[in-house]
Chain A
Amino acid sequence: MTDVKNILLVGVGGQGTILASKILSNGLLEHGYDVKMAEIHGMSQRGGSVVSQVRYGEEVFSPVIDKGNADIIVAFEMMEALRWLGHLKPNGKVIVNNYKLPSARINSGIDQYPENVLDRIKEKANITIIDAADIAADLGNRRTMNVVLLGSLIQAMDLDNIDWNTVVKENIKEKFVDINIEALQAGMNCIK
Protein backbone atom coordinates (compact mmCIF):
# COMPACT_ATOMS: atom_id res chain seq x y z
CA MET A 1 0.00 0.00 0.00
CA THR A 2 2.69 2.45 -0.95
CA ASP A 3 0.61 3.78 -3.78
CA VAL A 4 -1.07 6.69 -1.97
CA LYS A 5 -0.37 10.02 -3.69
CA ASN A 6 -0.35 13.32 -1.85
CA ILE A 7 -1.29 16.64 -3.42
CA LEU A 8 -1.09 19.97 -1.64
CA LEU A 9 -2.97 22.95 -3.12
CA VAL A 10 -1.90 26.18 -1.44
CA GLY A 11 -2.87 29.78 -1.97
CA VAL A 12 -4.66 32.74 -0.46
CA GLY A 13 -8.32 32.84 0.64
CA GLY A 14 -10.51 33.76 -2.34
CA GLN A 15 -8.23 32.31 -5.04
CA GLY A 16 -10.38 29.27 -5.71
CA THR A 17 -8.23 26.51 -4.21
CA ILE A 18 -11.34 24.97 -2.69
CA LEU A 19 -13.16 24.64 -6.02
CA ALA A 20 -10.04 23.24 -7.68
CA SER A 21 -9.60 20.62 -4.99
CA LYS A 22 -13.29 19.77 -5.15
CA ILE A 23 -13.09 19.08 -8.90
CA LEU A 24 -9.87 17.15 -8.39
CA SER A 25 -11.17 14.92 -5.62
CA ASN A 26 -14.48 14.23 -7.37
CA GLY A 27 -12.58 13.17 -10.49
CA LEU A 28 -10.44 10.84 -8.42
CA LEU A 29 -13.55 9.42 -6.75
CA GLU A 30 -15.21 8.75 -10.15
CA HIS A 31 -12.07 6.93 -11.21
CA GLY A 32 -12.48 4.55 -8.29
CA TYR A 33 -9.74 5.73 -5.97
CA ASP A 34 -10.17 6.08 -2.25
CA VAL A 35 -9.92 9.83 -1.67
CA LYS A 36 -9.58 12.08 1.36
CA MET A 37 -9.44 15.84 1.27
CA ALA A 38 -8.68 18.09 4.22
CA GLU A 39 -9.34 21.79 4.49
CA ILE A 40 -9.57 24.25 7.32
CA HIS A 41 -12.44 26.73 7.19
CA GLY A 42 -13.14 29.60 9.51
CA MET A 43 -11.05 32.47 10.70
CA SER A 44 -7.98 31.59 8.61
CA GLN A 45 -10.02 32.12 5.46
CA ARG A 46 -10.20 35.94 5.45
CA GLY A 47 -7.29 36.85 3.17
CA GLY A 48 -5.27 34.22 4.99
CA SER A 49 -3.00 31.47 3.78
CA VAL A 50 -5.16 28.49 2.73
CA VAL A 51 -4.33 24.89 2.04
CA SER A 52 -6.25 21.91 0.67
CA GLN A 53 -4.75 18.48 1.04
CA VAL A 54 -5.85 15.75 -1.34
CA ARG A 55 -4.74 12.15 -0.85
CA TYR A 56 -5.73 9.26 -3.12
CA GLY A 57 -4.87 5.63 -3.75
CA GLU A 58 -6.16 2.19 -2.93
CA GLU A 59 -6.82 2.95 0.72
CA VAL A 60 -6.20 6.27 2.47
CA PHE A 61 -6.21 6.63 6.25
CA SER A 62 -5.21 10.06 7.56
CA PRO A 63 -6.56 13.04 5.62
CA VAL A 64 -3.48 15.16 6.38
CA ILE A 65 -0.17 15.26 4.51
CA ASP A 66 2.96 15.25 6.65
CA LYS A 67 5.98 17.45 6.16
CA GLY A 68 8.28 15.94 3.56
CA ASN A 69 5.51 13.77 2.13
CA ALA A 70 3.75 15.71 -0.68
CA ASP A 71 4.31 14.33 -4.18
CA ILE A 72 3.36 17.67 -5.63
CA ILE A 73 2.58 21.18 -4.45
CA VAL A 74 0.42 23.45 -6.57
CA ALA A 75 0.87 27.01 -5.40
CA PHE A 76 -1.69 29.56 -6.53
CA GLU A 77 0.59 32.28 -5.16
CA MET A 78 4.39 32.44 -5.08
CA MET A 79 5.11 33.14 -1.42
CA GLU A 80 2.72 30.32 -0.47
CA ALA A 81 4.86 27.90 -2.51
CA LEU A 82 7.84 28.86 -0.42
CA ARG A 83 5.86 28.65 2.81
CA TRP A 84 4.83 25.04 2.14
CA LEU A 85 8.05 23.80 0.52
CA GLY A 86 8.93 21.82 3.65
CA HIS A 87 5.96 19.58 2.94
CA LEU A 88 7.42 18.41 -0.38
CA LYS A 89 9.16 15.08 -0.84
CA PRO A 90 12.79 15.80 -1.74
CA ASN A 91 12.10 14.47 -5.26
CA GLY A 92 8.63 16.02 -5.50
CA LYS A 93 7.35 18.58 -8.00
CA VAL A 94 6.19 22.15 -7.53
CA ILE A 95 3.82 23.94 -9.88
CA VAL A 96 3.85 27.65 -9.16
CA ASN A 97 1.53 30.30 -10.45
CA ASN A 98 3.63 33.25 -11.56
CA TYR A 99 1.55 35.50 -9.37
CA LYS A 100 2.17 37.61 -6.27
CA LEU A 101 -0.53 38.52 -3.79
CA PRO A 102 0.95 40.72 -1.08
CA SER A 103 -0.66 40.44 2.36
CA ALA A 104 -2.52 43.38 3.90
CA ARG A 105 0.51 43.97 6.12
CA ILE A 106 2.81 44.11 3.09
CA ASN A 107 0.43 46.51 1.34
CA SER A 108 0.49 48.83 4.30
CA GLY A 109 4.28 48.79 4.48
CA ILE A 110 4.61 46.85 7.76
CA ASP A 111 6.02 43.65 6.20
CA GLN A 112 8.05 43.01 3.04
CA TYR A 113 7.40 40.50 0.28
CA PRO A 114 10.30 37.99 0.24
CA GLU A 115 12.81 38.35 -2.61
CA ASN A 116 13.69 35.93 -5.43
CA VAL A 117 10.99 33.47 -4.49
CA LEU A 118 11.03 31.48 -7.73
CA ASP A 119 14.82 31.18 -7.85
CA ARG A 120 14.91 30.01 -4.27
CA ILE A 121 12.41 27.26 -5.03
CA LYS A 122 14.28 26.35 -8.24
CA GLU A 123 17.44 25.73 -6.23
CA LYS A 124 15.67 23.14 -4.11
CA ALA A 125 13.01 21.46 -6.23
CA ASN A 126 11.68 20.47 -9.61
CA ILE A 127 9.61 23.53 -10.45
CA THR A 128 7.23 24.44 -13.28
CA ILE A 129 6.13 28.05 -13.51
CA ILE A 130 2.70 28.71 -15.01
CA ASP A 131 1.45 32.13 -16.10
CA ALA A 132 -2.05 31.16 -15.08
CA ALA A 133 -3.32 34.71 -14.69
CA ASP A 134 -2.33 35.62 -18.25
CA ILE A 135 -3.67 32.37 -19.67
CA ALA A 136 -6.98 32.87 -17.86
CA ALA A 137 -7.18 36.49 -19.00
CA ASP A 138 -6.54 35.43 -22.62
CA LEU A 139 -9.40 32.96 -22.33
CA GLY A 140 -11.59 35.87 -21.27
CA ASN A 141 -12.07 35.26 -17.53
CA ARG A 142 -9.33 35.80 -14.96
CA ARG A 143 -11.31 33.81 -12.41
CA THR A 144 -10.51 30.58 -14.27
CA MET A 145 -6.90 30.88 -13.07
CA ASN A 146 -7.60 28.13 -10.54
CA VAL A 147 -8.77 25.69 -13.21
CA VAL A 148 -5.74 26.46 -15.41
CA LEU A 149 -3.54 25.41 -12.49
CA LEU A 150 -5.70 22.35 -11.93
CA GLY A 151 -5.10 21.39 -15.57
CA SER A 152 -1.35 21.60 -15.10
CA LEU A 153 -1.58 19.52 -11.94
CA ILE A 154 -3.64 16.82 -13.67
CA GLN A 155 -1.09 16.56 -16.46
CA ALA A 156 1.89 16.56 -14.10
CA MET A 157 0.35 13.73 -12.07
CA ASP A 158 -0.54 11.73 -15.23
CA LEU A 159 -4.21 11.84 -14.39
CA ASP A 160 -5.30 12.78 -17.91
CA ASN A 161 -7.03 9.40 -18.39
CA ILE A 162 -9.93 10.61 -16.23
CA ASP A 163 -12.92 12.22 -17.95
CA TRP A 164 -12.38 15.68 -16.50
CA ASN A 165 -14.84 17.44 -18.79
CA THR A 166 -17.70 15.53 -17.20
CA VAL A 167 -16.38 16.27 -13.72
CA VAL A 168 -16.14 19.98 -14.53
CA LYS A 169 -19.73 19.90 -15.82
CA GLU A 170 -20.92 18.35 -12.58
CA ASN A 171 -19.15 20.83 -10.33
CA ILE A 172 -19.41 24.20 -12.08
CA LYS A 173 -22.39 26.42 -12.94
CA GLU A 174 -23.60 25.72 -16.46
CA LYS A 175 -22.74 29.08 -17.98
CA PHE A 176 -19.10 28.77 -16.89
CA VAL A 177 -18.57 25.16 -18.00
CA ASP A 178 -17.18 25.82 -21.48
CA ILE A 179 -14.64 28.40 -20.42
CA ASN A 180 -13.47 26.18 -17.57
CA ILE A 181 -13.02 23.20 -19.87
CA GLU A 182 -10.86 25.45 -22.07
CA ALA A 183 -8.95 26.62 -19.00
CA LEU A 184 -8.33 23.04 -17.92
CA GLN A 185 -7.01 22.15 -21.36
CA ALA A 186 -4.80 25.25 -21.47
CA GLY A 187 -3.34 24.30 -18.12
CA MET A 188 -2.68 20.74 -19.27
CA ASN A 189 -0.89 22.05 -22.36
CA CYS A 190 1.59 23.88 -20.14
CA ILE A 191 3.08 20.56 -19.03
CA LYS A 192 5.14 18.65 -21.54
Chain B
Amino acid sequence: MTELLPAFSLRHPTSIEEAIAIHGSAPDARYVAGGTDLIVNLRRGIGDPETLVSLNRIEDFQNIADGKDGGLVIGAGVTIANLANDVTIRTRYPALRVAAGEIAGPGHRETGTVGGNLCLDTRCVFYNQSQWWREANHFCLKHQGEICHVAPKGDFCHAAFSGDLAPVFLVLDAEIEIAGPDGTRREPLSALYTGDGMDHLTLKPGELLTGIHVPANTPPAAYEKHRVRGAIDFPLAGVAVALTKDGDKVKTLKIAVTGTNTSPFLVEGLEAFTGSTLGEDDQAKLADIVQKQVSPMKTTLVQPFGRRRIAGAMARRQAVSLLAGG
Protein backbone atom coordinates (compact mmCIF):
# COMPACT_ATOMS: atom_id res chain seq x y z
CA MET B 1 0.00 0.00 0.00
CA THR B 2 1.88 3.02 -1.24
CA GLU B 3 0.86 6.60 -0.90
CA LEU B 4 -1.57 7.37 -3.66
CA LEU B 5 -0.44 9.26 -6.68
CA PRO B 6 -2.44 12.25 -7.86
CA ALA B 7 -5.34 11.28 -10.07
CA PHE B 8 -3.78 11.96 -13.46
CA SER B 9 -4.72 10.29 -16.68
CA LEU B 10 -1.97 8.63 -18.62
CA ARG B 11 -1.77 9.06 -22.37
CA HIS B 12 0.28 7.06 -24.81
CA PRO B 13 0.98 8.95 -28.03
CA THR B 14 2.84 7.01 -30.72
CA SER B 15 4.49 9.94 -32.43
CA ILE B 16 6.26 13.07 -31.34
CA GLU B 17 3.67 15.24 -33.06
CA GLU B 18 0.86 13.49 -31.22
CA ALA B 19 2.71 13.87 -27.93
CA ILE B 20 3.08 17.59 -28.45
CA ALA B 21 -0.57 17.88 -29.48
CA ILE B 22 -1.79 16.06 -26.38
CA HIS B 23 0.48 18.13 -24.20
CA GLY B 24 -0.90 21.27 -25.78
CA SER B 25 -4.52 20.29 -25.31
CA ALA B 26 -4.21 19.33 -21.66
CA PRO B 27 -3.39 22.41 -19.60
CA ASP B 28 -1.62 20.64 -16.80
CA ALA B 29 0.39 18.00 -18.59
CA ARG B 30 3.82 16.50 -17.94
CA TYR B 31 5.95 14.28 -20.10
CA VAL B 32 7.03 11.05 -18.54
CA ALA B 33 9.60 8.65 -19.93
CA GLY B 34 11.00 5.96 -17.62
CA GLY B 35 9.39 7.73 -14.70
CA THR B 36 12.26 6.80 -12.39
CA ASP B 37 12.57 10.43 -11.40
CA LEU B 38 9.11 11.83 -12.00
CA ILE B 39 7.10 9.08 -10.30
CA VAL B 40 9.31 9.25 -7.21
CA ASN B 41 8.59 12.96 -6.95
CA LEU B 42 4.88 12.48 -7.54
CA ARG B 43 4.80 9.88 -4.77
CA ARG B 44 6.20 12.53 -2.48
CA GLY B 45 3.52 15.00 -3.39
CA ILE B 46 5.78 17.08 -5.62
CA GLY B 47 3.65 18.02 -8.61
CA ASP B 48 0.02 17.41 -9.36
CA PRO B 49 -0.35 16.96 -13.12
CA GLU B 50 -3.74 16.17 -14.60
CA THR B 51 -2.23 14.42 -17.56
CA LEU B 52 0.92 12.41 -17.98
CA VAL B 53 2.07 12.11 -21.55
CA SER B 54 4.08 8.93 -21.76
CA LEU B 55 6.87 8.92 -24.30
CA ASN B 56 7.32 5.16 -24.13
CA ARG B 57 5.40 4.17 -27.24
CA ILE B 58 7.11 6.59 -29.60
CA GLU B 59 9.26 4.18 -31.49
CA ASP B 60 11.66 6.26 -33.55
CA PHE B 61 12.51 7.93 -30.30
CA GLN B 62 14.20 4.84 -28.95
CA ASN B 63 16.90 4.24 -31.52
CA ILE B 64 20.57 4.90 -31.74
CA ALA B 65 21.25 5.79 -35.38
CA ASP B 66 24.07 7.09 -37.53
CA GLY B 67 23.91 10.83 -37.99
CA LYS B 68 24.36 12.61 -41.33
CA ASP B 69 27.68 14.05 -40.31
CA GLY B 70 29.17 10.69 -39.36
CA GLY B 71 28.27 11.08 -35.73
CA LEU B 72 25.54 9.41 -33.79
CA VAL B 73 21.96 10.37 -33.01
CA ILE B 74 20.74 8.99 -29.74
CA GLY B 75 16.98 9.05 -29.34
CA ALA B 76 15.83 10.68 -26.12
CA GLY B 77 13.82 7.55 -25.35
CA VAL B 78 16.83 5.21 -25.43
CA THR B 79 17.09 3.54 -22.06
CA ILE B 80 20.21 3.95 -20.01
CA ALA B 81 20.79 0.18 -20.20
CA ASN B 82 20.55 0.16 -23.98
CA LEU B 83 22.92 3.09 -24.16
CA ALA B 84 25.44 1.29 -21.96
CA ASN B 85 25.17 -1.93 -23.96
CA ASP B 86 25.28 -0.41 -27.41
CA VAL B 87 28.28 -1.62 -29.35
CA THR B 88 28.97 1.69 -31.06
CA ILE B 89 28.81 3.54 -27.77
CA ARG B 90 31.11 1.03 -26.14
CA THR B 91 33.72 1.30 -28.82
CA ARG B 92 33.51 4.92 -29.89
CA TYR B 93 32.30 6.72 -26.78
CA PRO B 94 33.47 4.65 -23.83
CA ALA B 95 33.08 7.54 -21.39
CA LEU B 96 29.35 7.56 -22.09
CA ARG B 97 29.20 3.92 -21.32
CA VAL B 98 31.02 4.43 -18.02
CA ALA B 99 28.63 7.19 -17.02
CA ALA B 100 25.57 5.19 -18.06
CA GLY B 101 26.78 2.09 -16.24
CA GLU B 102 27.08 3.99 -12.98
CA ILE B 103 23.61 5.48 -12.95
CA ALA B 104 21.42 4.30 -10.05
CA GLY B 105 20.81 0.53 -10.15
CA PRO B 106 20.02 -1.98 -12.90
CA GLY B 107 16.26 -1.61 -12.52
CA HIS B 108 16.49 2.13 -13.02
CA ARG B 109 18.81 1.73 -15.98
CA GLU B 110 16.44 -0.67 -17.76
CA THR B 111 13.66 1.90 -17.44
CA GLY B 112 15.23 5.34 -17.21
CA THR B 113 15.97 7.14 -20.44
CA VAL B 114 18.62 9.43 -21.84
CA GLY B 115 16.06 12.23 -22.19
CA GLY B 116 14.88 11.81 -18.63
CA ASN B 117 18.44 11.80 -17.44
CA LEU B 118 19.24 15.08 -19.15
CA CYS B 119 15.99 16.65 -17.96
CA LEU B 120 16.22 15.20 -14.46
CA ASP B 121 14.85 17.45 -11.76
CA THR B 122 17.45 19.11 -9.54
CA ARG B 123 18.00 17.63 -6.09
CA CYS B 124 18.18 18.86 -2.53
CA VAL B 125 17.73 17.24 0.89
CA PHE B 126 15.10 19.79 1.72
CA TYR B 127 13.19 19.00 -1.44
CA ASN B 128 13.48 15.25 -1.98
CA GLN B 129 11.36 14.54 1.07
CA SER B 130 7.80 13.51 1.77
CA GLN B 131 4.87 15.90 1.86
CA TRP B 132 4.69 15.59 5.66
CA TRP B 133 8.37 16.39 5.93
CA ARG B 134 8.37 19.40 3.67
CA GLU B 135 5.26 20.76 5.29
CA ALA B 136 6.69 20.36 8.80
CA ASN B 137 9.78 22.17 7.53
CA HIS B 138 7.62 24.97 6.05
CA PHE B 139 8.38 23.99 2.46
CA CYS B 140 11.00 25.89 0.46
CA LEU B 141 11.40 28.18 -2.53
CA LYS B 142 11.54 25.39 -5.05
CA HIS B 143 8.13 24.09 -4.13
CA GLN B 144 5.29 25.69 -2.20
CA GLY B 145 7.52 27.70 0.14
CA GLU B 146 9.08 31.07 0.72
CA ILE B 147 12.64 30.51 1.79
CA CYS B 148 15.62 28.43 0.87
CA HIS B 149 16.89 26.33 3.77
CA VAL B 150 20.29 25.95 2.17
CA ALA B 151 20.93 29.67 1.86
CA PRO B 152 18.15 31.35 3.83
CA LYS B 153 19.33 34.88 3.10
CA GLY B 154 19.08 34.54 -0.65
CA ASP B 155 16.14 34.08 -2.95
CA PHE B 156 17.82 31.55 -5.18
CA CYS B 157 17.44 27.79 -5.26
CA HIS B 158 20.71 25.87 -5.18
CA ALA B 159 19.30 22.40 -5.79
CA ALA B 160 21.95 20.43 -7.64
CA PHE B 161 21.65 18.91 -11.07
CA SER B 162 22.69 15.31 -10.55
CA GLY B 163 22.40 13.44 -13.83
CA ASP B 164 25.46 11.48 -14.86
CA LEU B 165 25.26 11.69 -18.63
CA ALA B 166 25.25 15.45 -19.12
CA PRO B 167 28.93 16.17 -18.38
CA VAL B 168 30.06 13.52 -20.83
CA PHE B 169 27.80 14.88 -23.55
CA LEU B 170 29.11 18.36 -22.76
CA VAL B 171 32.77 17.50 -23.25
CA LEU B 172 31.87 15.63 -26.43
CA ASP B 173 30.21 18.79 -27.81
CA ALA B 174 26.89 17.02 -28.17
CA GLU B 175 23.86 18.89 -29.44
CA ILE B 176 20.28 18.33 -28.53
CA GLU B 177 17.23 18.34 -30.70
CA ILE B 178 14.10 19.84 -29.30
CA ALA B 179 10.58 19.56 -30.68
CA GLY B 180 7.67 21.66 -29.60
CA PRO B 181 4.52 23.43 -30.67
CA ASP B 182 6.68 25.88 -32.66
CA GLY B 183 8.70 23.26 -34.52
CA THR B 184 12.10 21.79 -33.89
CA ARG B 185 15.47 23.27 -33.10
CA ARG B 186 18.96 22.03 -32.48
CA GLU B 187 21.36 23.59 -30.01
CA PRO B 188 24.32 22.79 -27.81
CA LEU B 189 23.41 20.78 -24.72
CA SER B 190 24.59 23.58 -22.46
CA ALA B 191 21.71 25.70 -23.75
CA LEU B 192 19.25 23.30 -22.10
CA TYR B 193 20.05 24.53 -18.61
CA THR B 194 19.09 27.80 -17.01
CA GLY B 195 21.43 27.74 -14.03
CA ASP B 196 18.51 28.11 -11.64
CA GLY B 197 17.86 25.18 -9.35
CA MET B 198 14.18 25.97 -9.22
CA ASP B 199 13.37 26.05 -12.88
CA HIS B 200 16.37 24.36 -14.33
CA LEU B 201 15.46 23.77 -17.97
CA THR B 202 15.08 26.23 -20.82
CA LEU B 203 12.38 24.10 -22.42
CA LYS B 204 9.22 26.04 -23.20
CA PRO B 205 5.79 24.59 -22.41
CA GLY B 206 5.10 21.53 -24.51
CA GLU B 207 8.66 21.18 -25.72
CA LEU B 208 10.51 17.95 -25.42
CA LEU B 209 13.90 16.57 -26.11
CA THR B 210 13.87 14.19 -29.05
CA GLY B 211 17.48 13.28 -29.52
CA ILE B 212 21.13 13.97 -28.89
CA HIS B 213 23.69 14.38 -31.67
CA VAL B 214 27.17 13.26 -30.83
CA PRO B 215 29.83 14.40 -33.33
CA ALA B 216 31.90 11.91 -35.29
CA ASN B 217 35.41 12.61 -34.21
CA THR B 218 35.38 13.25 -30.55
CA PRO B 219 38.50 13.47 -28.46
CA PRO B 220 39.36 10.67 -26.05
CA ALA B 221 37.23 11.21 -22.96
CA ALA B 222 36.73 9.82 -19.49
CA TYR B 223 34.19 10.09 -16.71
CA GLU B 224 34.59 9.64 -12.98
CA LYS B 225 31.79 9.71 -10.50
CA HIS B 226 32.12 10.30 -6.80
CA ARG B 227 29.57 8.78 -4.48
CA VAL B 228 29.61 7.04 -1.15
CA ARG B 229 28.24 3.68 -2.21
CA GLY B 230 29.14 1.66 -5.27
CA ALA B 231 25.59 1.77 -6.61
CA ILE B 232 22.26 3.62 -6.35
CA ASP B 233 23.74 6.93 -5.20
CA PHE B 234 23.49 10.04 -7.33
CA PRO B 235 26.81 11.71 -8.05
CA LEU B 236 28.12 13.97 -5.29
CA ALA B 237 30.41 15.16 -8.01
CA GLY B 238 30.81 13.74 -11.48
CA VAL B 239 33.60 14.92 -13.74
CA ALA B 240 34.02 14.31 -17.45
CA VAL B 241 37.26 15.18 -19.21
CA ALA B 242 38.07 15.22 -22.94
CA LEU B 243 41.60 15.80 -24.06
CA THR B 244 43.51 15.83 -27.31
CA LYS B 245 47.26 15.98 -27.37
CA ASP B 246 50.16 17.03 -29.40
CA GLY B 247 53.02 14.71 -28.54
CA ASP B 248 53.24 14.82 -24.80
CA LYS B 249 51.47 18.15 -24.57
CA VAL B 250 47.84 19.08 -24.18
CA LYS B 251 46.23 20.39 -27.34
CA THR B 252 42.64 20.79 -26.22
CA LEU B 253 41.12 20.17 -22.85
CA LYS B 254 37.49 20.14 -21.83
CA ILE B 255 36.10 19.43 -18.42
CA ALA B 256 32.47 19.28 -17.37
CA VAL B 257 31.00 18.69 -13.95
CA THR B 258 27.69 17.43 -12.59
CA GLY B 259 26.31 17.01 -9.10
CA THR B 260 27.78 20.17 -7.65
CA ASN B 261 25.93 23.04 -9.26
CA THR B 262 22.40 23.81 -10.35
CA SER B 263 23.39 22.84 -13.90
CA PRO B 264 25.96 20.56 -15.42
CA PHE B 265 28.57 22.91 -16.81
CA LEU B 266 31.77 23.20 -18.82
CA VAL B 267 34.69 24.45 -16.79
CA GLU B 268 36.04 27.72 -18.14
CA GLY B 269 39.59 28.97 -18.57
CA LEU B 270 41.21 25.73 -19.66
CA GLU B 271 42.82 27.24 -22.81
CA ALA B 272 45.77 28.04 -20.58
CA PHE B 273 46.69 24.37 -20.55
CA THR B 274 47.25 24.11 -24.28
CA GLY B 275 50.88 23.17 -24.63
CA SER B 276 51.19 22.00 -21.06
CA THR B 277 52.69 18.65 -20.13
CA LEU B 278 50.62 18.75 -16.95
CA GLY B 279 53.55 18.87 -14.61
CA GLU B 280 52.97 19.08 -10.90
CA ASP B 281 52.29 22.82 -10.87
CA ASP B 282 49.86 22.66 -13.75
CA GLN B 283 48.10 19.76 -12.13
CA ALA B 284 47.60 21.80 -9.00
CA LYS B 285 46.44 24.73 -11.10
CA LEU B 286 43.98 22.54 -12.94
CA ALA B 287 42.51 21.12 -9.75
CA ASP B 288 42.29 24.62 -8.40
CA ILE B 289 40.41 25.98 -11.42
CA VAL B 290 37.86 23.20 -11.13
CA GLN B 291 37.53 23.65 -7.39
CA LYS B 292 36.84 27.32 -7.85
CA GLN B 293 34.10 26.80 -10.39
CA VAL B 294 32.19 24.05 -8.68
CA SER B 295 29.90 25.34 -6.01
CA PRO B 296 28.52 22.50 -3.96
CA MET B 297 26.10 23.72 -1.33
CA LYS B 298 24.53 21.96 1.60
CA THR B 299 21.98 20.32 -0.64
CA THR B 300 23.18 16.90 0.47
CA LEU B 301 24.35 15.55 3.80
CA VAL B 302 27.85 15.31 2.43
CA GLN B 303 29.95 18.34 3.22
CA PRO B 304 30.74 20.80 0.41
CA PHE B 305 34.42 21.07 1.33
CA GLY B 306 35.11 17.45 0.47
CA ARG B 307 33.02 17.47 -2.70
CA ARG B 308 34.86 20.50 -3.99
CA ARG B 309 38.28 18.99 -3.40
CA ILE B 310 37.24 15.67 -4.80
CA ALA B 311 35.91 17.28 -7.98
CA GLY B 312 39.24 19.02 -8.48
CA ALA B 313 41.20 15.85 -7.86
CA MET B 314 39.07 13.78 -10.23
CA ALA B 315 39.53 16.35 -13.00
CA ARG B 316 43.27 16.46 -12.45
CA ARG B 317 43.86 12.74 -12.44
CA GLN B 318 41.67 12.02 -15.44
CA ALA B 319 43.42 14.71 -17.45
CA VAL B 320 46.78 13.28 -16.48
CA SER B 321 45.74 9.79 -17.40
CA LEU B 322 44.28 10.87 -20.76
CA LEU B 323 47.50 12.68 -21.55
CA ALA B 324 49.51 9.61 -20.66
CA GLY B 325 47.14 7.22 -22.45
CA GLY B 326 47.63 6.01 -26.02
Do A and B originate from a single complex?
A: no
